[in-house]
Amino acid sequence: MLRIYKLCLSLAALILLSEQVSAFEIDGGKWPTGEIEFFVDMDGTAASGITWNTAFIAAMNDWNKETSFNFILREANRDPCANDGLNSVDFGDDFCGTEFGDSTLAVTVRRFNASILGAPAISEANIIVDQNKEFNVYDGNLVQFGIQGLDFRRVALHELGHAIGLDHESENLAIMAPTIGNLDRLQTDDIAGAEALYDGVINCAVSELAFGSINNALDANDCTVSELLPGSNDTSPIDLYRFALTNAATLSLDMTSMTLDSVLLIADENLQVIGFDNKSGNECDSSLTQFLQPGSYFLLANTFDTPVQDECGNSGDYKINAVLSSGGLNPLGSSASLTGASVNATFSGGITSNNGASFTNQFSPSASLDITAQIDIDPQHVGQAGFLVIAAVVDEQILFLNEQGQFVDSAANPGVITRASNKILTAVEELTVVENLVPESLGITEIVVGFFFGYGLNSSPAQLYYHQAPLNLIIAP
């Protein structure tokens, strides 16, 4: 974790040699998102009557059609050697002042920016094609009777693969082979390489973040950064927690451990780090406070390949305290059901001590608390006879709020889901758990309670729809 890189350049070229052509290879970098603008406006037409622009745009469209990556066409000429932050293609006598090799057909020049986590991110990609080579545009075998010049379209396909972060592939059939050959379209290996970078699949286990306390561990059984971010060689273990916000909020995090050189990070939905602890303190612990706009995020619990603090290691138990402060109710994780059936319902909740001016999850024993929730019922269930459920979890104990407004221990009726109310379900159900609750008036000075909310239908009384991340209440002196 925390590998800082200077701006660097990468050159990738397609050469004309007769070599045997490699599973897909990722060379250590990708774009922060799977979409970039590319400027295309080259002069000239092939002997086949197809313009260079048409052939290049067709190659872009192939990548767009076959993979999750998306090239946005901008029909304008830009100098590929200008270092202007724009991505472009053109012919040239050399590539940015350096001579082409005798067998080099084209070169892709990429620039990278430092990444806090994983390999540097590509920030610019430009393709320069050797204008002294003879090109044409055609399909099929590279060498054909009556056709002069090399197929420009397959050269464009290859160089665009470098532009998105793929390296040469020398074992499997691929357009990303280091030498030009008879392949004129993307192959299964090429597509798999692009998908590994940009299909949005998280290759590590992801937990729902419950704001409150988290106890876990980092060890050899965990996912590593290199597994999470293809192309990285960072083997440090990492845990991922997903959360979403519908209101702007401040998230305050503390990660403590007796043995682990702890590192906290917050990343956006594309796993781009937007906040991290710079480890300025001389301790194994980590802390981070980040203001966040509405959106989807990941909390990352990480460590270093090699511990920075002599007294710390890169494995061990940890505890995270997460306190969220916002101006409204926030989502409570993904929806679920007891039987595993899908449900199109959303759940949100919040705890306030100032009549709804702000919501958070940690309070003093003397605070006067209002706890509320909202369920956006699955449209298929609106108007049906059903019921609402409110549960509170304290350690191993589960309490249900009954219709009389009292919490009862589920152990008294094992296997029975106690209902908070029976009603005809409306599109939006608003639930009040408690109002003006002062913990110290009940003799409570320290406690952690996780609240869950759900609903069901009278037609299927054993089915319950609920959320996966609890609304946690922390009372501490």
Tens digits of per-residue pLDDT, 242-272? 999 999 999 999 999 998 999 999 999 988 8
Q: What is the CATH number of domain 8-198?
A: 3.40.390.10
Residues sharing a CB contact under 8 Å with residue 280, sequence separation 6 or more, in sequence order: none
- Cα–Cα dist 410/400, whole Å: 7
Query: Is residue 447 scored above 50 in pLDDT?
Result: yes
CA dihedral 314, 287, 230, 200 (to 10 degrees): 140
Q: Which class for 341: exposed (0-12), middle (13-18), buried (19 or more C-beta within 10 A)? A: exposed
Lowest average pLDDT, out of 51-60, 117-126, 210-219, 308-317, goes to: 308-317
Q: Which is more confident, 14 or 50?
A: 50
Specify the pLDDT at position 24: 43
Q: What is the mean pLDDT of residues 395-403?
A: 95
Largest CA distance in the chain: 94
H-helix or E-strand spanning residue 62: helix 52-66
Q: Are strands 286-292 and 249-256 parallel, antiparallel or unpaired?
A: antiparallel
CA–CA separation, 48 vs 176, rounded Å?
Answer: 25
Which pLDDT belongs to residue 312?
86
- Give all strands (DSSP E) within 137-269, no chain letters: 150-151, 206-208, 213-218, 238-245, 249-256, 263-268
The pLDDT value recorded for residue 281 is 62
Q: How far apart are CA 26 and CA 38, in angstroms?
A: 21
Mean pLDDT of 192-212: 88
pLDDT at 452 (0 to 100): 98
Q: Phi and psi of 419, rounded to 5°?
A: -90, 140
Average pLDDT in the chain: 90
pLDDT at position 33 is: 86
Report pLDDT for 311.
81
Residue 28's pLDDT is what? 58
In this prediction, residues 60-71 reach a mean pLDDT of: 97
- List, by residue range, all CATH 2.60.40 domains of the chain: 330-475
Q: How far is CA 219 from CA 195, 259, 311, 317, in A?
A: 28, 11, 17, 9
Give pLDDT, residue 360.
Answer: 96
Of 220 and 282, the structure prediction assigns the larger pLDDT to 220
Measured from the Cβ of residue 422, the count of other Cβ atoms closer than 10 Å reads: 11
Residue ranges of the chain assigned to CATH 2.60.120.380: 206-326
Q: How confident is the model at residue 14, as a pLDDT?
A: 55
Residue 11, pLDDT score: 56
Q: Radius of gyration (Cα) for the chain, nearest Å?
A: 28
The model's confidence at residue 335, banded by pLDDT at 50, 70 and 90, is very high
* pTM, entire model: 0.79
The answer, yes or no, to whether residue 385 has pLDDT greater than 90, is yes
Comparing 21 with 443, the larger pLDDT belongs to 443
pLDDT digits (tens, 9 = 90+) for 9-30: 555 555 553 232 223 444 558 8
Spell out the residues 6+ positions from residue 177 whose beta carbon is closer than 8 angstroms to its own: 21, 22, 158, 168, 169, 170, 183
CA–CA gap between residue 45 and residue 277 (Å, rounded): 54
The DSSP 8-state label assigned to residue 99 in this structure reads P
Q: What pLDDT shows up at residue 80?
A: 95
Buried b (16+ CB within 10 A) or exposed e, 172-206: bbbbbbbbbbebbebbebbbebbbbbbeeeeebee
Q: Which fold, 330-475?
A: Immunoglobulin-like (2.60.40)
User: In this model, does residue 463 exceed pLDDT 60?
Assistant: yes
Cβ-based neighbours of 356, under 8 Å, separated by 6 or more: 370
List residues bridging with 111 in a β-sheet: 9, 124
CATH 2.60.120.380 fits 206-326, yes or no: yes
Q: How far apart are CA 91 and CA 79, in angstroms?
A: 10
- Secondary structure (H, E, C), 153-170: HHHHHHHHHHHHCECCCC
Look at residues 314, 318, 249 and name the one whose alpha carbon lies nearest to residue 287.
Answer: 318
- Tally Cβ neighbours within 10 Å of residue 267: 19
pLDDT of residue 330: 92
Percent of the chain clearing pLDDT 90 (strictly above): 73
pLDDT at 446 over 70: yes
Eight-class DSSP state of 96: T
Asked which of 75-79, 204-208, 283-287, 306-310 is least confident by mean pLDDT, the reply is 306-310
CATH 3.40.390.10 region(s) of the chain? 8-198
- CA 271 – CA 228 distance, rounded (Å): 9
User: Using N-to-C axis directions, what is the helix angle for 52-66 and 188-198, rounded to 10°?
Assistant: 70
CB 166 within 8 A of CB 14: no
What are 111-165's pLDDT values in tens digits? 998 888 888 889 999 999 999 999 999 999 988 888 899 999 999 999 999 999 9
Could you report the per-residue pLDDT of 83-94, keeping only the tens digit for each? 899 999 999 999
Q: Is the pLDDT of residue 73 over 60?
A: yes
